[in-house]
C-alpha cells in the first residue's frame, strides 16, 4: 500500500513489519533496529548478504548515545553541522545494537534523515530504524514510492510516500580511525564540504569481503541492461552500431542516429541537479528494452565524484 499516513507506518513497524520510508537521499526499507526478527526480514526481502551492514536512522542527535559510544569530537562536530542530512557516521556501537545490524563489526553506521515525514515517524517511535535502500540487493536505488512498489509489489504492507527524493543519491559515509576521518562511501554530501569542517579525509578502498560500512561493495546500483561508462561517447557508440543504445549524459546531448534515447542529468551542468536525477534516469533507461546503456563520466569534482562512483559500480562490462 502506498500511503502518506504516518499512523499506518507506525503501526506496521511496532508490529514487526517492514515499511518503505522516504528520505532526502533514497527510499529506505525500514524495520525496528532493536528487533532481530525485523532486521532479519530486511536482509531476506532485499536478498542482501549478511556481511553487508545496515544504517541505523535516529530521531535526534541527543538519541545518538543510545546507539553509539566513545563518540569522537570530530564526529560530534560533523553531526552538529550536517544533521539532519545526508551524512552517515560510523561509530563504536552501543551494546543495544545487535551484531546482525553491524554484520559483526564493533561499529554502527548512523544518521538522522532530513525528510519531514520520516522525522515525524521517528519521533513517534521508541526505537530507531535500520533502513538500507528499498531495493533488491545490487539493483538501482529507489527515489520514488513507485520505484519501491515496482520492486516489491505487495511484499510490503506500507510504502510511505514522501514524493521524489530531493538529493537522489545515498548518504556520504565517514568513519574514524586513530583520530583520522575516513571516507567509506561517496554520497550526497560532497567531500569538499566535509573537509571545510574537519580538514583532510583519507579515502578507504572498496571491500567485498569484510566491509566496515554499508555501500562499500564494488558491484552495486546496477540496471538490468548492460551498462558501460566512458570518457569517449562517440567511439563507444560506434562499437554498438545496429543495436538499441540509450545514453546517460551529464549536460550536452549527443547527435547520433544510433541512439534511441538520451537522459540528460542537468542541462545547466549542475552537479546537485545531476545527482538528484541520476537514479530516476537509470530507472527510465532500464525500462526501454535497450541493448545497451552508455553513461558519460562526469568531471571528477564535487558531486561529480559521487555520480562517477555510482556509475562505475553500475557498470556490468568494460
> In angstroms, rounded to a whole number, what is the distance separating the alpha carbons of residues 271 and 185?
17
Q: Look up the pTM and report it.
A: 0.94
Domain boundaries, the chain: 2-203, 227-314
318: pLDDT strictly greater than 60: no
Percent of the chain with pLDDT over 70: 96
> In angstroms, rounded to a whole number, what is the distance separating the alpha carbons of residues 158 and 149?
10
Question: Long-range contacts of range 204-211, CB-CB < 8 Å, 24 or more positions apart?
Answer: 204/175, 209/51, 210/51, 211/51, 211/52, 211/53, 211/103
pLDDT tens-digit map of 214-268 = 777 766 778 999 999 999 999 999 999 899 999 999 999 998 888 999 999 999 9
Using alpha carbons, list the distances in angstroms from residue 195 to 109, 191, 213, 270, 302: 20, 6, 20, 21, 12
Structural class in CATH, domain 227-314: alpha beta
> In angstroms, rounded to a whole number, what is the distance separating the alpha carbons of residues 54 and 173?
12
3-state secondary structure 55-73: EEECCCHHHHHHCEECCCH
188: pLDDT strictly greater than 90: yes
Pick the CATH number of 2-203 from 3.90.870.10, 3.60.15.10, 3.90.25.10, 3.90.1300.10: 3.90.870.10
pLDDT tens-digit map of 117-137 = 999 999 999 999 999 999 999
Q: What is the mean pLDDT of residues 169-189?
A: 94
Poorest-confidence range of 140-144, 178-182, 293-297? 178-182
Amino acid at each position: 500500500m502506498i500511503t502518506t499516513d504516518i499512523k499506518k507506518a507506525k503501526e506496521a513497524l511496532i508490529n514487526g513489519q517492514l515499511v518503505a520510508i522516504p528520505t532526502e537521499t533514497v527510499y529506505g526499507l525500514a524495520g525496528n533496529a532493536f528487533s532481530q526478527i525485523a532486521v532479519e526480514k530486511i536482509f531476506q526481502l532485499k536478498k542482501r548478504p549478511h556481511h553487508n551492514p545496515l544504517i541505523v536512522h535516529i530521531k535526534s542527535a541527543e538519541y545518538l548515545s543510545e546507539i553509539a559510544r566513545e563518540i569522537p569530537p570530530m564526529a560530534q562536530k560533523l553531526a552538529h553541522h550536517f544533521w539532519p542530512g545526508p551524512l552517515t557516521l560510523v561509530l563504536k556501537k552501543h551494546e543495544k545494537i545487535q551484531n546482525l545490524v553491524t554484520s559483526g563489526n564493533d561499529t554502527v553506521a548512523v544518521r538522522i534523515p532530513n525528510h519531514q515525514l520520516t522525522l515525524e515517524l521517528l519521533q513517534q517511535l521508541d526505537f530507531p530504524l535500520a533502513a538500507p535502500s528499498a531495493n533488491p540487493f545490487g539493483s538501482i536505488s529507489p527515489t520514488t514510492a513507485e520505484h519501491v512498489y515496482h520492486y516489491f509489489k505487495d511484499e510490503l504492507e506500507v510504502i510511505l510516500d514522501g514524493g521524489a527524493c530531493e538529493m537522489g543519491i545515498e548518504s556520504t559515509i565517514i568513519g574514524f580511525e586513530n583520530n583520522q576521518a575516513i571516507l567509506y562511501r561517496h554520497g550526497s554530501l560532497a567531500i569538499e564540504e566535509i573537509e571545510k569542517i574537519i580538514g583532510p579525509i583519507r579515502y578507504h578502498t572498496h571491500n567485498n569481503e569484510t566491509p566496515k560500512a554499508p555501500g562499500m561493495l564494488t558491484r552495486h546500483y546496477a540496471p538490468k541492461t548492460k551498462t558501460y561508462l566512458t570518457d569517449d561517447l562517440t567511439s563507444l557508440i560506434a562499437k554498438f552500431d545496429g543495436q538499441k543504445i540509450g545514453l546517460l549524459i551529464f549536460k550536452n546531448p549527443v547527435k547520433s542516429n544510433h541512439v534511441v534515447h538520451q537522459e540528460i542529468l542537468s542541462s545547466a551542468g549542475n552537479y546537485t541537479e545531476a545527482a538528484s536525477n541520476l537514479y530516476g534516469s537509470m530507472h527510465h533507461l532500464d525500462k526501454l528494452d535497450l541493448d545497451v546503456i552508455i553513461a558519460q563520466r562526469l568531471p571528477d569534482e564535487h558531486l561529480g565524484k559521487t555520480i562517477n562512483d555510482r556509475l562505475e559500480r553500475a557498470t556490468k562490462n568494460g
